[in-house]
Structure 1
Amino acid sequence: MGTHQPNVIGDWREYEDDHKGIRVRVHSLKKGDIPPEGRDSDAKGLTYFSFRVTVENRAEEWFEIKLERRHIDVRAGRDGDSVYLDYNSREIEGFKLYPLRRASATFYAAAPARRLDIQIRMRIDDEPSDPQVWVGGADVPEAATRASKKATRAKDSLANEVSKYLQEQGDA
């Protein structure tokens, strides 16, 4: 995963070097999805949303995966304001991920903004992985983040915004 470019929500990212064969993605971002235990009082006045993180093992050996709330940082809006990450999120704790298997976790958060940056730095075999960032919007269906002919023509599409941002960063 040697790139410094953000991923669009729904994209897979593959690890390299010691964790070759492991890939991860952030997906299924849903606005208004409240944890089964209900709203937390710390999230008063904020809009809840959920997202899933899936880890897949395509290697020939197993890896121990740990993905907890403390391994995720979610930021909202253009200024990157902190987001409330709910304690009732479903984590992956010390799971042996065997070849050709997947493990998923659902995280619940609350934020005032619709545009999100989700950074993940899970632990693989008790070592921190390289941090990776996914960008997306709580009101944007995942299919709309793909760079299809229709999406690339739409000036307001999320894929277009991400591409424009990356081009500006490359010129700096």
Structure 2
Amino acid sequence: MLISQYAYFGLFSRATPAAAMTAALGIDPDEIDVRGSRRGEPRPRPAFHGWRIVCRDPAMSVDQQVERIMERLAPHVGTIAALTRQLDAQGGKDTSAVLEIVRKFNHDEGQDRLASTPPEMIDGHDLLGWHLDRTVLEFLQATGAVLDVDEYDYSDSADDD
């Protein structure tokens, strides 16, 4: 099975641009979105300004990717929490902070990890399982962030028969 995966921590706002988020946090993002930069009618795309710290290292498990992100953000938890509260107040029901995990199974650009192979037989890390430790959960709680996990199966439907 081929697996492609990445993780990011993102802040999103309809009103506050990524440059203002960067200024408030003092942390340069890895990626940004500018609301409405790809025009779409009747709703602008993207619908939100976005600020992200991302780990796309294919040699890492989800746990390690999240750990890498947390290493960068943990020293700034108070500032992130204050900005998240500000963004939440602006956005009403919209969630402004998220830890996102994206996994694609049977993806052409993924790493080969057979589900039936015992982890001790695989060089490197088993990419099928993952967990969040207490420090990550405490960070999510402190910053008011949600956890969102997207998983996609790219298997050909003919293979499913």
TM-score range, shorter chain: under 0.3
* Higher relative contact order, structure no. (Cα contacts within 8 Å, ≥ 6 residues apart): 2
Structure number with larger C-alpha Rg: 2
TM-score with structure 2 setting the length: 0.27
TM-score where L is the length of structure 1:
0.25
